Amino acid sequence: MTETPKLKPKTSKYVENVLEQEELLQQLLHGLGSPLNIILPEMFERNINQFRDVFKKHKVNGSIYYAHKANKSSALVAEAKKQDIQLDVASIKELEDGLKQGFKGREIIVTGPKNKRLLEKSILQECLISVDNIEEIQTIKKISRQLDKKPVKTVVRFSGFKPHDREKIVSESRFGIPISKSDQIIEELKSEEIEFKGFAFHLSTSDDRKKLTAISNIFQIHLDYLEEGLTAEIIDIGGSFGLNYMDNKRDWQNYINELHKQVSGERDEKITWKRDNFGLKKEKGGIKGSLSLYQFYQSEEKHDYLDKLLDSKVPGFNKKFKSLLQENMLELIIEPGRALLDEAGFTVTKPNFVKFSETGEKLIGLEMNQTNLNTQRWEFMVDPIILKNSKEQSKRLAEKDEGVFFLGNLCLETDIIQKHKTYLEENLNEKDLIIFPNTAAYHMDFGEATPIQKKTAQKAVIYQNEGKEFEWILDDRYSVTTRGEL
């Protein structure tokens, strides 16, 4: 039987309360334009506290560094400072954002690819630098001598981790120093210009087996470095703690099943634009390929994932991760981006027009484009929420349960907001608002651009005052005291 695949989003009670502020959202969109990005600092605070509770539970000395790259919002950087966590930056602009919001250099880690100018500013501000390659260490030493600065605090980022119990081809990474070359940088790290602080890695996966393999490799290098007189104080395991976007598991499983039916030819009605199969293809003997989608439903995510990781035994050591951290007196650094932004923002837009394709598909044009949801790189596999206009009657565009595709406002054939068909939960009228929920992490502005001179979306912060009433402020005017005294 052919099913209607819906992808209902997860929403917390707080977000539902915000979405009940229909008049406020209508006014904001009218005044600031469509699309509009809404930032919710209270949800950001909730996520921070959830990670902190895990550190306390396991009695681990842990530090949270917010990965600024996940969102350009200056309000979130201000809130990170207010919540007394640290900052992970990957560009000069991100570093300047942190300094502007009151972060000291010692509260910032500089990661990712770095040019000489970023290294210079990081050294002048006395930031912690996550070293990506041997040449970077040599450049840091040279800049330090030229500036006559004290030793530069560094952690060394490694990659290419190998399991202890079997031979395996290790996938290559563009980041980090291969662990096979870990002994080649020992003398570089003993330099008087370098203050070696420890180790770092980042895996773009929440696969706990791969994470534990990396942790095992790092602890072995730690023992090797101790013999060479290099004592680590820090292990930085990066981010990728996973995030669940879905209201329930069944929706996600049902969608994947229906996608397989589309690929195999069992399903007549298409559920994606031009039958895009997200990396899957039909071959003799079945369906081949790899699904090129984020795992939008995850039963174990965020702080629960970290909780499990700390309580897991590390291969080759027969001890739990938390025990190894405690015994070696190591500080654990995490760099969540997506996980700290869970439900910390959403995108609001409005319908622009309705039309039909040659094959009879209903197409709803929106007052936004594909870069406003970054669907060019990652399909956002969550259905939008229809926020009804309760005060004005307007033209009906689509019926409840009707399948539609959302188009953008660019002169591009590829400007499809979501490639998956949306089966509406509500009737859609011309003056209703369309909410794309939980877009703060990477979707909201990571790939946002200004084609044909379209403006990028403005950001507004919605928060509750001391009387629990909702107020708003422009993102760049939000400060550490906006929601009350520190």
Average pLDDT over residues 96-118: 97
pLDDT band at 205 (very low <50, low <70, confident <90, very high): confident
pLDDT the model gives residue 374: 81
Collapsing DSSP to helix, strand or coil, 482 comes out as: coil
Instruction: Let me know if domain 13-40+344-475 sits in CATH 2.30.30.280.
Output: no
pLDDT band at 344 (very low <50, low <70, confident <90, very high): very high
Residue 145, H or E segment: helix 134-147
pLDDT the model gives residue 223: 97
pLDDT the model gives residue 377: 66
Q: Is it the case that residue 165 has pLDDT exceeding 90?
A: no
Residue 434, H or E segment: strand 433-436
Q: Which of 345, 342, 343, 348 is nearest to 435 (CA)?
A: 348
Spell out the SS3 assignment of 212-274.
Answer: HHHHHHHHHHHHHHHHCCCCCCEEECCCCCCCCCECCHHHHHHHHHHHHHHHHCCCCCCCEHH
Q: Is it the case that residue 204 has pLDDT exceeding 90?
A: no
| Dist. CA 190–CA 327, nearest whole Å | 24
Architecture of the structural domain at 41-243+296-341:
Alpha-Beta Barrel (3.20)
The answer to whether 331 and 62 have CB atoms below 8 angstroms apart is: yes
Q: Which of 370, 441, 445 is nearest to 408 (CA)?
A: 370
pLDDT the model gives residue 425: 94
Q: Where are the domains of the chain?
A: 13-40+344-475, 41-243+296-341, 249-289
Q: Is it the case that residue 3 has pLDDT exceeding 90?
A: no
| Dist. CA 335–CA 203, nearest whole Å | 11
Across-strand partners of 461? 39, 473
pLDDT the model gives residue 319: 97
| Dist. CA 225–CA 268, nearest whole Å | 61
Strand 345-349 vs strand 403-407: parallel, antiparallel, or unpaired? unpaired
pLDDT band at 230 (very low <50, low <70, confident <90, very high): very high
- CA angle, 369 as apex, 367 and 371 as ends, to 5°? 145
Across-strand partners of 130? 155
Q: Is it the case that residue 62 has pLDDT exceeding 70?
A: yes
| Dist. CA 297–CA 315, nearest whole Å | 28
Q: Is it the case that residue 486 has pLDDT exceeding 80?
A: no
pLDDT band at 91 (very low <50, low <70, confident <90, very high): very high
pLDDT the model gives residue 23: 97
Average pLDDT, the chain: 95
The answer to whether 268 and 360 have CB atoms below 8 angstroms apart is: no
Residue 458, H or E segment: strand 458-464
The answer to whether 151 and 144 have CB atoms below 8 angstroms apart is: yes
Average pLDDT over residues 427-435: 97
Query: In one letter, which amino acid is 65?
Result: Y
Residue 186, H or E segment: helix 186-189
- CA angle, 140 as apex, 129 and 226 as ends, to 5°? 65
